[in-house]
Amino acid sequence: METTSSNASLSGASRAASGPTIAFDSIDGPPVGVFNRLVDNISAEAQGRALAIASREGVANYRVRGYLAAQVIKGRTHISWVWDVYDDDKFRTLRITGEEAGGRAGGDAWAVADEAMLRKIARLAVDRIAGHVANPSVPVADPPSAIAEAPEAPARPQRKRRAAAMPTAAEKLAMAASR
């Protein structure tokens, strides 16, 4: 499956915006089709907030790296995501994580990443990034998890539960990419 980490579509998202500029350096993990739809949603969310998006080759006050992973848990597909925000000194100033529960995807786990899910991921990410760059000294609250909203899958035999401290699939991808 072909994946991409380009951000070419984000480079002109909001030229008329003022304030700190943000460049999306990469978005790793999703296949090309999901990536393109996510980029479109991020661009729309950034424009709606007059957030200044720069090309990844250009000068920016903040740089963002995104990581998405699809994983099947108890027969349901979940899309985990991480957004790391770095300042112009290359220090990570914010990490945003989340996980969206989808349905049963069949053979392609990414098939659950529909327009509504990608819009929600983009909205949560851009909301948190915009709040952070507007006032970097104020902590930004974690978004509510969509996992509790999803209907439960039919009961199955209990498996060993994942410890709360274990990283999600997207966090593992982010850790591997930073090496």
Q: Which domains does the chain have, with CATH numbers?
A: 8-68+85-96+113-143 (3.40.50)
Q: Is the pTM of this model over 0.85?
A: no
Q: Which of 136, 171, 157 is nearest to 22 (CA)?
A: 136
Give the list of residues 6+ apart from residue 10 with CB closer than 8 angstroms, or none. Answer: 23, 24, 39, 42, 43, 46, 53, 55, 56
User: Would you state the pLDDT for residue 137?
Assistant: 77
User: Would you state the pLDDT for residue 56?
Assistant: 86
User: Would you state the pLDDT for residue 85?
Assistant: 95
Give me the tens of pLDDT residue by residue for the chain, a chain 179 residues long: 444 555 444 554 444 456 899 999 999 999 999 999 999 999 999 999 889 999 889 899 999 999 999 998 888 899 999 999 999 899 999 999 999 988 876 778 898 999 999 999 999 999 999 999 888 776 655 555 544 444 444 455 555 555 556 777 777 777 776 66
Gap between the Cα atoms of 34 and 156, Å rounded: 30
User: Would you state the pLDDT for residue 162?
Assistant: 53
DSSP conformation class of 148: T
Gap between the Cα atoms of 161 and 118, Å rounded: 27
User: Would you state the pLDDT for residue 15?
Assistant: 45
Strands 76-87, 21-28: pairing is unpaired
* Contact status, residue 150 vs residue 74, Cβ threshold 8 Å: no
